[in-house]
Chains A and B, each alone.
Chain A
Amino acid sequence: MSDELPVAFKTLRTTRWHMTREIEELSVEQMLVIPEGREDNIIWNVGHLLCSLSRLTYVFSGFPLPIPEEYLGIYGKGTSAAAWEGTPDVDKTLELFNGMPDRIEADYKAGRFQVYKPLSLGPNTIESVEEAVAFHCFHEGLHIGMIITLKELLGLPTRG
């Protein structure tokens, strides 16, 4: 049991505050546009982070994937919005994305993340759920950067 959250969890909140600020006023159409010269759109970046965070926390701690399995085929590593055959449920993706930090914090406080299956990412190895959350802040920042660039390419105002 832990009431005191590690630093990385607070950083996840700050990271998410920045992300929300960039996407909250966008329409579904704006999230689906793929700019010239790119293969992704804004919702792909969001869904991709949802998949990655879900796997890094729950799956590598021995729990089932806490989001629909089909999301991995839409947003998972190596997928591309340019290859989608249909349009994903944007609202549902956003709802799950927005709710995930609360869910993870609640499960962390309840002491559910005890074991972690180490995950090698190039030269870096993630060895605990705390480290997974710290890594996710980096990963989410990368995609916030990509979203800001996508918005600039679409002529949308950025908050950056």
Chain B
Amino acid sequence: MIDKSLYKTVRATRGYMAQQVADLSEEQLLQVPDGLRNNILWHVGHVVQSEAGIVYGRSGLDVPLPNHYTALYKGGTSPADWTETPDIPDVMEHLKTQTGTIYNEYKDGKFEGYGGFEMVPKYTLDTIEEAFAFNIFHESIHVGMVMTMRKLIGAAKG
């Protein structure tokens, strides 16, 4: 079972990301700073897509996101390849609700089929709890990037 302390950190991490992006305009979300490859919206979509891909995908479940999220936000993709502007309110809604939904589903035993996988050589995510813990760290990498990007686009937040 996921311990309370771990889930607290999962929720705090997502809250941190939401807080970093809540006050930005569409233009700021879409701006790619000089020298970088992505915009802030990409990072938002990426954390949502990545968490769903691991938690649902590795449990053999359908990923409850629109199919095109993979092409838009999967690791290695970039807004430079987008053919149209993604639906911003939709991705913001997923950002807000995903963690709570997954936690409730987890308590109901939805992820019992989680199979584990080798993420990088030597490092495996053997249990769903480990996947949640990994997500704290993965997501915060992107929060860190967003924090830096805000400074680069002149929208620094304390």
Interface residues of A (CB under 8 A from B): 6-8, 10-11, 13-15, 17-18, 37-38, 123-124, 127-128, 130-131, 134-135, 137-146, 148-150, 152-153, 155, 160
Contact = CB atoms under 8 A, between A and B. Distances in A.
Nearest to A40: B148
Interface string B10-28: 0011011000000000000
Nearest to A15: B137
A150 B37 CA distance: 13
A141 B144 CA distance: 7
Contact of B148 (A6, A124, A149, A160): A149
A127 B5 contact: yes
Contacts of A139: 140
Residue among A15, A141, A144 having the largest count of chain B Cβ atoms under 10 Å: A141
Main secondary structure on B side of the interface with A: helix
Given A7-B6, A8-B133, A149-B36, A137 B145 contact: no
Nearest to A14: B123
Contact of A141 (B5, B15, B120, B136): B136
B9 A146 contact: no
Given A37-B152, A127-B5, A152-B37, A144 B133 contact: no
Given A17-B123, A137-B9, A138-B136, 15 more contacts: A7-B6, A11-B130, A11-B133, A13-B123, A127-B5, A137-B137, A137-B140, A141-B136, A141-B138, A141-B144, A145-B147, A146-B144, A146-B147, A152-B36, A155-B35
A37 B151 contact: yes
Nearest to A17: B123
A148 B139 CA distance: 14
Contact of A149 (B8, B136, B138, B149): B149
B134 interface: yes
A142 B130 contact: no
Contacts of A7: 3, 6, 127, 129-130, 133
Interface string B42-57: 0000000000000000
B153 to A, nearest CB: 10
Nearest to B13: A138
A153 B36 CA distance: 7
A146 B146 CA distance: 9
A145 B8 contact: no
A83 B13 CA distance: 30
Nearest to B5: A131
B37 A123 contact: no
A128 B140 contact: no
13 contacts: A6-B3, A11-B134, A14-B137, A17-B122, A123-B15, A138-B139, A142-B147, A143-B144, A144-B144, A146-B147, A148-B141, A149-B145, A160-B141
